[in-house]
């Protein structure tokens, strides 16, 4: 019965939806500020020429924090139903499997190149 | 009346949370994304597919870089600029990053003002977003020109591994195209907001449907996604 009422009034859904997204502007300004801080941090990683594991872990950390803020707040994913959030956020994790496959593949290619093209060209 | 019924539905729905809620939504009748309009759901699904496209670009870049026996050009030096006698590494890319983040900030506020039916502020913020986007594309054009003048080609460059050029032009070119499309999209929607299409329920030119302010949010989703992709390109291509 309730579902029938919902479908009978197609304009009701966006209206109810609109009410759910009345966040104060301050929230967006705070997130904006954090994105600036995080971007500055990742730029400083390069500016101070940090190297090795410290560089990689800092770059990935700042990247994930920025991506998280953008998706959760700017794209409103934090307020979506889990059925949508999981449907969108879980599939990209498959890329990590792809990364794993390609790491093996490129290690093998590099090994072949080093063995058969010693000059490195 | 309608609002009351809706509130009741919302209350009943929020009682099932977590995995049980997901299973309930997905196994339910007719639609899995309960309170999400088709337009928004489709934009999310498009963005998911675009994620895989950019994912494949970054993966092929990773593979090229890991498998070459020739040293990779140092992006910190390649993208350095000399401003007022100061040699600053990666400065142009840093400015581009801040420009794009600022555009995301103005876009998020435009969405908010849209739902408040503040036409003026929404349209102005969307046009500011578009201006930031156009600035970004302009800086990218400058960067491309500079690199091409220095002899970077998809098949060679003066500093090291040949694959650098093809990865650079492919990834930043595809991203720049996305930004350009976003700017056009923003201007079209900003015009509709300015004209008051969503207040007078004017029908769309192609679709003949009445629009509403949710289109501002959907445009925003696309725009934030473009910013999101840049976060990953910045980290993996320029900083790594």
**Res A21: pLDDT:** 58
Is the predicted pLDDT of residue A36 greater than 50, yes or no?
yes
**Res B169: pLDDT:** 95
Homologous superfamily assigned to B36-239: Cytochrome c oxidase, subunit III, four-helix bundle (1.20.120.80)
Domain-embedded: residue A85: no
Q: Are residues A97 and A115 in the same domain?
A: yes
What does the domain layout of chain B look like in residue ranges? 1-35, 36-239
**Count of alpha carbons within 13 angstroms of residue A25, beta-carbon side:** 13
Domain-embedded: residue A71: yes
Could you tell me if B37 and A80 are in contact, meaning their C-beta atoms sit under 8 angstroms apart? no
Q: Are residues A99 and A63 in the same domain?
A: no
Specify the higher pLDDT residue, B18 or A62.
A62
Nearest to B110 by CA among B94, B121, B99: B121
**Res B15: pLDDT:** 56
Q: Are residues A23 and A55 in the same domain?
A: yes
Nearest to A81 by CA among B50, B7, B107, B15: B15
Task: Say which range, A47-61, A107-121, B128-142, B186-200, has the weakest mean pLDDT.
Answer: A107-121
Q: Which residues contact B224 (CB under 8 A, 6 or more apart)?
A: A70, A71, A74, A75, B104, B107, B108
Domain-embedded: residue A102: yes
**Count of alpha carbons within 13 angstroms of residue A90, beta-carbon side:** 7
Query: Exposed, middle or buried: residue A54 (CB in 10 Å: 0-12, 13-18, 19+)?
Result: exposed
Q: Are residues A12 and A59 in the same domain?
A: yes
A26 vs B: CB within 8 A = no
**Res B13: pLDDT:** 52
At residue B87, φ and ψ (nearest 5 deg) are -90, 105
pTM higher than the cut 0.95: no
Q: Are residues A31 and A75 in the same domain?
A: yes
Of B5, B17, B26, the CB nearest to A2: B5
Q: Are residues A60 and A95 in the same domain?
A: no
* The token pair that represents B18 in the structure block: 């977590």
Q: What is the ipTM of this complex?
A: 0.86
Query: Exposed, middle or buried: residue B217 (CB in 10 Å: 0-12, 13-18, 19+)?
Result: buried
Specify the higher pLDDT residue, A38 or B210.
A38
**Res B81: pLDDT:** 86
Place of tokens 């009351």: B4
Could you tell me if A25 and A74 are in contact, meaning their C-beta atoms sit under 8 angstroms apart? no
pLDDT tens profile A81-95: 888 999 999 999 999
Query: Mean per-residue pLDDT for A42-59?
Result: 90
* The token pair that represents B44 in the structure block: 């999310």
CA-based nearest residue in chain B for residue A62: B235
Sign of CA dihedral B232, A72, B184, B136: negative
CB atoms within 10 A of CB A33: 11
Distance from CA of A21 to the nearest CA of B (A): 7
Domain-embedded: residue A119: yes
Is the predicted pLDDT of residue A11 greater than 50, yes or no?
no
Domain containing A21 equals 2-80
CA-based nearest residue in chain B for residue A72: B224
The answer to whether the Cβ–Cβ distance between A59 and B55 falls below 8 Å is no
Q: Which residues in chain B show pLDDT less than 70?
A: 1-16
Could you tell me if A77 and A71 are in contact, meaning their C-beta atoms sit under 8 angstroms apart? yes
Secondary structure, 3-state, B94-116? HHHHHHHHHHHHHHHHHHHHHHC
CA-based nearest residue in chain A for residue B231: A63
- The H helix count followed by the E strand count for chain B is 9, 2
Can you tell me the distance from the alpha carbon of A79 to that of A72, in angstroms, rounded to the nearest whole number? 8
Q: Are residues A65 and A96 in the same domain?
A: no
Q: Are residues A26 and A58 in the same domain?
A: yes
Confidence of residue A1 (pLDDT cuts 50, 70, 90): very low
**Res B1: pLDDT:** 45
A44 vs B: CB within 8 A = no
**Res B14: pLDDT:** 53
Q: Are residues A48 and A69 in the same domain?
A: yes
**Res B105: pLDDT:** 95
Which among B6, B47, B52 is the top mutation candidate for probing chain A, defined by the most A β-carbons within 10 Å of its own β-carbon? B6
Nearest to B35 by CA among A12, A1, A88, A90: A12
- The vertex-B75 CA angle with B163 and A39, nearest 5°, equals 130
Q: Are residues A65 and A117 in the same domain?
A: no
Total domains, chain A: 2
A121 vs B: CB within 8 A = yes
Could you tell me if B228 and B188 are in contact, meaning their C-beta atoms sit under 8 angstroms apart? no
Q: For B156, which DSSP code?
A: B
């Amino acid at each position: 019965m309730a579902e029938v009422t919902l479908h009978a009034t197609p304009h009701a859904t966006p209206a109810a939806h609109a009410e759910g997204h009345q966040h104060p502007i301050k929230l967006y300004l705070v997130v904006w500020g954090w994105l600036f801080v995080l971007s500055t941090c990742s730029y400083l990683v390069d500016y101070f020429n940090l190297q090795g594991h410290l560089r990689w872990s800092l770059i990935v950390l700042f990247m994930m924090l920025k991506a998280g803020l953008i998706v959760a707040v700017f794209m409103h994913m934090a307020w979506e139903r889990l059925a949508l959030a999981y449907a969108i956020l879980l599939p990209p994790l498959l890329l990590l499997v792809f990364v794993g496959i390609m790491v093996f593949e490129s290690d093998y290619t590099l090994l072949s190149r080093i063995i058969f093209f010693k000059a490195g060209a | 009346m309608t609002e009351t019924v809706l509130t009741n539905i919302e209350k009943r729905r929020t009682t099932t949370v977590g995995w049980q809620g997901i299973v309930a939504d997905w196994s339910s009748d007719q639609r899995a994304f309960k309170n999400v309009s088709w337009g928004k759901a489709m934009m999310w699904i498009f963005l998911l597919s675009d994620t895989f496209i950019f994912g494949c670009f970054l993966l092929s870049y990773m593979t090229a870089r890991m498998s070459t026996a020739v040293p990779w050009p140092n992006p910190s030096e390649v993208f350095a600029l000399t401003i007022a006698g100061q040699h600053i590494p990666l400065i142009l890319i840093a400015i581009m990053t801040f420009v794009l983040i600022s555009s995301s900030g103005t876009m998020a506020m435009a969405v908010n003002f849209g739902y408040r039916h503040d036409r003026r502020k929404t349209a102005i913020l969307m046009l500011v977003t578009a201006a930031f986007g156009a600035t970004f594309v302009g800086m990218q054009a400058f960067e491309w020109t500079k690199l091409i003048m220095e002899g970077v080609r998809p098949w060679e460059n003066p500093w090291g591994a040949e694959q650098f050029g093809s990865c650079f032009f492919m990834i930043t070119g595809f991203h720049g195209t996305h930004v350009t499309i976003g700017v056009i999209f923003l201007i079209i929607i900003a015009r509709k907001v300015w004209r008051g299409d969503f207040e007078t329920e004017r029908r769309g030119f192609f679709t003949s449907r009445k629009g509403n302010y949710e289109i501002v949010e959907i445009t925003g989703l696309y725009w934030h996604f473009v910013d999101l992709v840049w976060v990953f390109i910045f980290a993996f291509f320029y900083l790594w």
